[in-house]
């Protein structure tokens, strides 16, 4: 059975009611109890799915999926998730919608609310997604923005729990760019009471306001968050080591500069000797082997990146079933 910091079952009814109709934009919008409940729900749904039990919890419901950015895991996992829940997912390229030709977010939100039971959007601007949610009467789920990637963090936490059991008090080392993945990861880890060390090159640190909020949350839950520009310092005695690409979508013109600035931040055999021998390696994918991570690590025995990718499906099914009415 999954080991969580509290008994989700004792508060199930209360939290189920609190989640219905809610937007899922950032993990900062949820209590630790609510995040724990969703992880418990994802774990149970995954176990049931392996037995062939796929209750049609969202039969007759339709999720609209808006994409401003390319996607593999987000599109497929949300679409399959809705199918397994008995519903339907509709792919919408933002360029093909009227919003791509200048229709206001206000009008778009109100129109989508007439047709859909939920909206998942993978977008550039977090502020735009917040505005869309404001003008949409059905739940809006953040599939990725420039600031946050909350669904990814939920899959990350589920994978950590599967690999390590209770994760409160464990050390998580994130090495790389202080980007949207890092932001949601430190918030999720803070909810779980983990000790997080974030190592980035100078000038690539996480958003300061987000770090302050994550530190407050971590402190409340018995965890901690520290920042450094030294990857070795971050990885020492780490239970989990995590990285992401050095150049994200939309930053391609910075590739050469980033390759130079991130030199020394590769997760490789020389760096991981400082982690615990049974460390778990995670990467949100896609990965660039021999850039942010060596093939020997990502394809090695401590790597759980494909289990992590698979858990996007189960974490998102839990979110969908929880928020869509």
Q: Which residues are annotated as a binding site for L-ornithine?
A: 180, 244, 248-249
Annotated catalytic, 163? no
* Catalytic residue check, 122: yes
CA distances (Å), origin 308, targets 103, 128, 134, 146, 315 = 37, 28, 31, 21, 10
Helix (H, G, I), strand (E, B) or coil at 284: coil
Q: Which of 84, 152, 266, 308 is catalytic?
A: 152
| CA–CA gap between residue 195 and residue 170 (Å, rounded) | 6
Active-site residue (options: 284, 308, 314, 316): 284
Q: Would you call 23 a catalytic residue per the annotation?
A: no
Q: Is 195 a catalytic residue?
A: no
- The verdict on whether 191 is a catalytic residue reads no
Contact 198, 266 (CB under 8 A): no
Q: Which of the following is catalytic: 22, 40, 122, 258?
A: 122
Beta bridge partners of 196: 172, 225
CB neighbour burial string for 242-268, b if at least 16 within 10 angstroms, e if fewer: bbbbbbbeeeeeeeeebeebbeebbbb
Binding residues: 71-74, 98, 122, 149-152, 180, 244, 248-249, 284-285, 312
Active site residue 152: yes
Name residues whose C-beta falls within 8 Å of residue 259's C-beta, 6 or more positions apart in sequence. 246, 247, 291
Specify whether the CB–CB gap between 36 and 166 falls below 8 A. no
Cross-strand bridge partners of residue 67: 93, 122
* Per annotation, catalytic residue among 126, 312, 314, 316: 312
Q: Which residues are annotated as a binding site for carbamoyl phosphate?
A: 71-74, 98, 122, 149-152, 284-285, 312
Cβ of 215: how many Cβ atoms within 10 Å? Answer: 18
The H or E element containing residue 49 is helix 32-50
d(CA 90, CA 11): 33
- The DSSP bridge partners found for residue 140 are 119
| Marked catalytic residue, from 23, 146, 156, 244 | 244
Q: Are 36 and 318 in contact (CB under 8 A)?
A: no
Pairwise CA distance, residues 319 & 124, whole Å: 22
Among 22, 40, 126, 149, the active-site one is 149
HEC states along 5-45? CCCHHHHHHHHHHHHCCCCECCHHHCCHHHHHHHHHHHHHH
Residues identified as active-site: 122, 149, 152, 244, 284, 312
């Amino acid at each position: 059975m999954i080991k969580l910091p509290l008994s989700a079952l004792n508060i199930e009814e209360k939290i189920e009611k609190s989640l219905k109709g809610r937007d899922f934009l950032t993990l900062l919008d949820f209590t630790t109890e609510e995040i724990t409940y969703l992880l418990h729900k994802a774990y149970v749904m995954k176990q049931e799915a392996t037995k062939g039990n796929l209750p049609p919890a969202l039969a007759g419901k339709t999720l609209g999926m808006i994409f401003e950015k390319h996607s593999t895991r987000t599109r497929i996992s949300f679409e399959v998730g809705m199918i397994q829940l008995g519903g339907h997912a509709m792919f919408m390229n933002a360029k093909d919608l009227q919003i791509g030709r200048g229709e206001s977010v206000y009008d778009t939100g109100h129109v989508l609310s007439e047709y859909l039971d939920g909206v998942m959007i993978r977008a550039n601007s977090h502020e735009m997604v917040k505005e869309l949610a404001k003008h949409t009467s059905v739940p809006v789920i953040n599939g990725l923005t420039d600031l946050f990637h909350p669904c990814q963090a939920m899959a990350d936490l589920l994978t950590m729990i599967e690999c390590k059991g209770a994760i409160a008090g464990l050390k998580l080392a994130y090495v790389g760019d202080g980007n949207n993945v890092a932001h949601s990861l430190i918030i999720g880890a803070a909810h779980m009471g983990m000790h997080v060390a974030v190592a980035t090159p100078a000038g690539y640190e996480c958003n300061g306001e987000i770090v302050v909020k994550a530190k407050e949350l971590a402190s409340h839950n018995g965890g901690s968050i520290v920042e450094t520009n030294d990857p070795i310092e971050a990885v020492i005695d780490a239970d989990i080591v995590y990285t992401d690409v050095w150049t994200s979508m939309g930053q391609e013109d910075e590739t050469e500069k980033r390759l130079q600035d991130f030199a020394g931040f590769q997760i490789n055999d020389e760096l991981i000797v400082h982690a615990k021998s049974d460390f778990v390696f995670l990467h949100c994918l896609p990965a660039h082997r021999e850039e942010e991570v060596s093939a020997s690590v990502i394809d090695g025995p401590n790597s759980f990146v494909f289990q992590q990718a698979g858990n996007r499906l189960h974490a998102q099914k839990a979110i969908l079933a929880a928020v869509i009415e």
